[in-house]
Chains A and B, each alone.
Chain A
Amino acid sequence: MLKMTNISKIFKSETIQTHALRDFSLTVESGEFVAVTGPSGSGKSTFLNVAGLLDNFSQGEYQLDGVNVSGLNDNDLSKLRNEKIGFIFQNYNLIPDYSIYDNVDMPLRYRGFNAAERKRRIEHALEKVGLASRHGYLPSQLSGGQQQRVAIARALAGEPKILLADEPTGNLDSLMARQVMELLHSLNEDGATIIMVTHDPDQAREVKRSVQIIDGQITDAKVYAPESAIQTTLTENEKKELVDA
């Protein structure tokens, strides 16, 4: 589904070069739920931006659903994002002036579906996240958890190959975070491929596979068995973060 081979991403300023990603390789199969952890500045965000085709990379090869993305122009990238990727952002990124319905509708418009098809998909997606009754509301009229569910509906409506979630519960209290996580799990059980960047070790542990990025490289890749979810294998950094929290 997603295959990154020796990806490097270098930020250049006038004096220094920073390697955000260094010889980064990762393969995600269809149907996987992968948690990506790592300390701040480790390259998590860069990984997500590159994976989501939001940002380009300097070296290496990236295949998304069989398409080699290097060499694609801006329009092609937009099209790929639109069709194959569903984004879930930490701060939801709903358009405040648009109703829930119009927010979910937005990516479908760029897809060029007809009105009936859009309606069917929007209603279906909102139903899936349990917000079908709220379609006329503005984002500001909803709680954070509800807003994030709208964002998930928006990501789902296009029936993407892969969902990319960036700290999806980062702005939510624990109860709401729980609901969102449950939603993601159930989507995964229905067959969705999900990559989630998080720094919540508990969340990292409850998913099937967790990878850690440090200094722009994958340091270890663990596959948790569902029953071993309670077992703790914390890296030094994760311990430190917990203490800090």
Chain B
Amino acid sequence: MNFKALLKSLMLRKFAVGLLVIQLALTLGLIVNSSILALDTIKKLEEPMGIDIDNILIVDLVATSGAYRDDDYANAITLEDMAKIEALPGVIAATPSIQLPIQSGGTNGNMHDIDNPDIELTNKYLSYVPFFFATEKIQQVFDLELIEGRLLSSSDMFKDGDEKMNIVITQSLKHDLYGEDSAIGRETNNGIIVGVVKDFNISPLKPDDKQYAVFKPYIIPNSYHYLVKVEPGQFNTIKNQISDVILSVQPERDIRRVYSMADHLEKFYQQDQGLANLFIMLCVLMVLVTIISSYANAQFHVSKQRKIIGIRRALGARKKDVLIYVLAENWLVCLMGSFFGILAIMGINIMLSNHLEIAKPEILPTIIAICVLAVIGTLATWLPAIKTSNIPPVIATKTV
């Protein structure tokens, strides 16, 4: 195979080859960046939550009648709901909650030791600490792991008129408020700390060491969520009956959704996932166009080269040589496309990073994408190449 001569002959068709090279380079650029987006999303989804997402059931509900505007009535119904739900076989614990881990917005508040309010001026995360208003059962729902002090008990439930609330906070929050000192018994603007629990994935958009949370033993009337921890394998059974159980306590509620923490996580990343899917769809189309292009170029380029192939055959090229000759051209274009493709990958990455969060391109996905394109290109060229190699050598002596 005379690569130099092939290269020179490609250079004579600069424009046509250039088109193919740019096309390949852009394809490569888009494919690699799309897969980066898709991989980013998968990585986020696979990041450990620190809680048992498959066995936590969430019910979203809203009261539809005006009666629920009476807090005492609303809370009485909520407690009855909880009792009924916990009585179901397979339920470990249930609590109302005004928010979920991993959500944008939510109920956040500021947090500081009563003697050190200025700490908020140096740490902006302390102004937006997620508050989980719930019963003490939330500790069982999330399987909170105690690090210091004690967990909340039912006697900690805050009642109107009580003076100080007992609270449990996460480890990173404790660390940022008190460093290595013990936090137990300390008084904050949100109450007295009785326990510190291990961090879990509460706010994925914040750094790993800022997974703050405060667990406050208080029921907010008409809380939007019920959280239910179920025994392994019981999820669907409970899911199927929970609406009826709640409505049997009092029917004037709109149960908007019953789902798992895993569904919630997926929904949180739905936008990223959706975007990644769109980019993957684009990739599929690009591969399709690459197939069309490789096939058509081999096909049409070859049809005008019939004579030349005939000459080659007459001068002693075997079928195999012709096959390799046609494929070699594809490979050479692919190689050039890959070279410029690396520039395209970086260019498109920079362009996309102006509009969304995207990781920097890495070597391995790039190499994989190049190989995939090369294989696809080769396969698409194969059929026309076989056809070409069947051109009989006798063509050489025919004029025109």
Q: Verify whether A and B have any Cβ pair under 8 Å.
A: yes
Interface residues of A in 71-124 (CB under 8 A from B): 74-75, 78-79, 81-83, 87, 89-91, 93, 95, 97-99, 102, 105-107, 109-111
CB distance from A27 to the nearest CB of B (A): 22
Q: List 16 A-B contacts (CB under 8 A).
A: A53-B393, A54-B394, A54-B397, A55-B392, A82-B317, A83-B316, A87-B315, A91-B399, A93-B311, A98-B5, A98-B8, A102-B4, A105-B2, A105-B5, A109-B2, A110-B318
A166 contacts partner chain B, Cβ-Cβ < 8 Å: yes
For the complex, count residues of A whose C-beta is within 8 A of B. 33
Within 8 A of A (CB), among B273-332: 307-308, 311-321
How many A-B residue contacts, CB cutoff 8 Å?
88
Residues of chain A lying within 8 A (CB to CB) of residue B1: 109
Q: Which residues of A contact B316 (CB under 8 A)?
A: 78-79, 81-83, 107, 110-111, 158
| Further 16 A-B residue pairs, CB within 8 A, beyond A54-B392, A82-B315, A109-B2 | A53-B393, A54-B394, A55-B392, A75-B319, A78-B313, A78-B318, A78-B393, A81-B315, A81-B393, A89-B396, A93-B311, A97-B9, A97-B12, A102-B2, A106-B315, A154-B315
Quick one: closest B residue to A109, CB to CB?
A: B2
CA distance A102 to B12 in the complex (A): 14
Q: Is the CB of A106 within 8 A of B397?
A: no
Interface residues of A in 112-163 (CB under 8 A from B): 154, 158
**Contact indicator B8/A93 (Cβ below 8 Å):** no
Is A48 interfacial (CB-CB < 8 Å)?
A: yes
Chain B nearest CB: distance from A33 CB in Å? 20
Contact of B397 among A49, A74, A109 (CB under 8 A): A49
Q: Which residues on the A side are within 8 Å of B318 (C-beta)? A: 74-75, 78-79, 110
Q: Counting CB contacts under 8 A, is A45 at the interface?
A: yes
Distance A105 CA – B2 CA, assembled complex (angstroms): 9
A166–B8 touching, CB < 8 Å: no
A196 to chain B, nearest CB (A): 13
Contacts of A52 in B (CB 8 A): 314, 397
Chain A contact residues, CB within 8 Å of chain B = 45, 48-49, 52-55, 74-75, 78-79, 81-83, 87, 89-91, 93, 95, 97-99, 102, 105-107, 109-111, 154, 158, 166
User: What's the Cα separation between A229 and B321 when bound, in Å?
Assistant: 45
A166-B9 contact in complex given A54-B314, A78-B317, C-beta closer than 8 Å: no
A106-B9 contact, Cβ under 8 Å, with A54-B394, A78-B318, A81-B393: no
A154 to B396 CA separation, bound complex (whole angstroms): 15
Distance, CA A207 to CA B318, complexed state (A): 34
Asked if A81 meets B314 with Cβ closer than 8 Å, knowing A97-B9, A102-B8, A106-B2, the reply is yes
Q: Which residues of chain B are within 8 angstroms of A106 by Cβ–Cβ distance?
A: 2, 5, 312, 315
Q: Give the complex CA separation of A154 and B311 in angstroms.
A: 12
Chain A nearest CB, measured from B327 CB (Å):
16
Chain A residues whose C-beta falls within 8 Å of the C-beta of B393 in the assembled complex: 53-55, 78, 81
* Cα distance, A54 to B75, chains bound together (Å): 96
B12 CB to closest chain A CB (Å) equals 5
CA of A91 to CA of B308, assembled, Å = 12
How many Å from the CB of A151 to the closest CB on chain B? 10
Q: Which chain A residue shows the least CB distance to B13? A: A97
